[in-house]
């Protein structure tokens, strides 16, 4: 990877943003599933694994001690999270709290129903038809994701999420997705990296190298010069994270979730003031 690409990305960052960087440790955002551990899909990267770490909405106390919640859940066979389920419970949780939603490929009636309870929607954006079929098993296209994204933007604030290496560690459609988001408009962006997860179809795959992932981060910074870009929580741990996070700082990201120690040092060496948070980075 050429050093001058990092220099160019850094120049774009400093031209449009103050010399601060957010380091978020989302301990104060409750993770809530509208479907428990149920999902009609068997996505190659998830296999319902991550739903097991969320609390079913029907078990959540109304006075839960959290200033914010992530409202998510499994999908139906068409890739839609049943967002109108348990709206009475959501209305209670909404009081005094900020809500970040994962919604999938929902339609206008569902968006209109949940809009009063939404602070932001985290929308997974995919830029390759074959990736959609292979990963999600859905007979949907990139255009379906574009249409849903534009529909959501009519009603609520949307933060698109882009997973580098989603297709089993292969870079496939990420830059197309970035070009589309640049054309459609994105107020912010969260970038994730495939985690090969035990028990899933991608368990034995490898994520893209930290350098390859950083190259996509640089393209994101250049294509979306004024949009805050966050490196989100879903990315490999250990040495991989230590290498990637330092490169991400140099690539001009605005926020990193649970950063490696090396990234903190890199930020300080670049003269960035660190601002720490305790909630989901999309909020």
pLDDT in tens, 8-43: 999 999 999 999 999 999 999 999 999 999 999 999
pLDDT in tens, 59-102: 999 889 999 999 999 999 999 999 999 999 999 999 999 999 99
pLDDT, residue 2, reads 75
In 10 A of CB 19, how many CB atoms? 11
- The 3-state secondary structure of 165-218 reads CCECCECCCHHHHHHHHHHHCCCCEEEEECCCCCCCCCCCCCCCCHHHHHHHHH
The pTM of the whole model exceeds 0.95: yes
CATH no. for 3-277: 3.20.20.70
**Do 99 and 119 meet the contact criterion of CB atoms below 8 Å apart?**
yes
pLDDT, averaged across the chain: 97
The DSSP line for 86-152 is: THHHHHHHHTT-EEEE--BS--HHHHHHHGGG-SEEEEE----HHHIIIII-----HHHHHHHHHHH
Average pLDDT over residues 132-160: 98
pLDDT in tens, 172-228: 999 999 999 999 999 999 999 999 999 999 999 999 999 999 999 999 999 999 999
Closest CA to 103 of 87, 79, 139: 79
pLDDT, residue 1, reads 63
Average pLDDT over residues 107-121: 98
What the block records as the tokens of 6 is 């990092």
Average pLDDT over residues 235-247: 98
pLDDT, residue 32, reads 98
Average pLDDT over residues 267-282: 97
Average pLDDT over residues 254-279: 98
pLDDT at residue 268 tops 80: yes
Percent of the chain with pLDDT over 90: 98
pLDDT, residue 62, reads 85
């Amino acid at each position: 990877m050429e050093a001058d690409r990092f220099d160019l990305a850094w120049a774009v960052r400093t031209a449009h943003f103050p010399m601060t960087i957010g380091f978020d440790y989302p301990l104060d955002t409750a993770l809530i599933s509208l479907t428990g551990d149920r999902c009609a899909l068997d996505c190659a990267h998830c296999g319902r694994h991550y739903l097991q770490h969320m609390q079913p909405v029907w078990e959540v106390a109304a006075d839960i001690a959290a200033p914010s919640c992530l409202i998510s859940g499994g999908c139906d066979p068409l890739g839609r999270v049943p967002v109108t389920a348990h709206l009475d419970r959501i209305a209670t949780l909404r009081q005094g709290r900020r809500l970040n939603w994962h919604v999938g490929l929902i339609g206008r009636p569902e968006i209109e129903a949940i809009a009063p309870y939404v602070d932001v929607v985290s929308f997974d954006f995919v830029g390759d038809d074959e990736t959609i079929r292979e990963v999600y098993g859905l007979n949907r296209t990139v255009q379906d994701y574009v249409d849903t994204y534009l529909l959501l933007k009519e009603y609520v604030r949307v933060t698109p999420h882009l997973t580098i290496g989603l297709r089993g560690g292969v870079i496939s459609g990420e830059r197309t997705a970035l070009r589309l988001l640049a054309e459609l408009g994105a107020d912010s962006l969260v970038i994730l990296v495939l985690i090969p997860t035990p028990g899933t179809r991608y368990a034995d795959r490898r994520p893209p190298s930290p350098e390859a992932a950083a190259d996509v981060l640089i393209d994101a910074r250049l294509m979306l010069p004024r949009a805050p870009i966050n490196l989100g929580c879903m990315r490999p741990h250990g040495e991989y994270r230590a290498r990637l996070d330092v490169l991400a700082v140099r690539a001009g990201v605005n926020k990193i979730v649970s950063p490696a120690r090396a990234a903190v040092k890199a930020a300080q060496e670049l003269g960035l003031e660190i601002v720490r948070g305790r909630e989901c980075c999309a909020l």
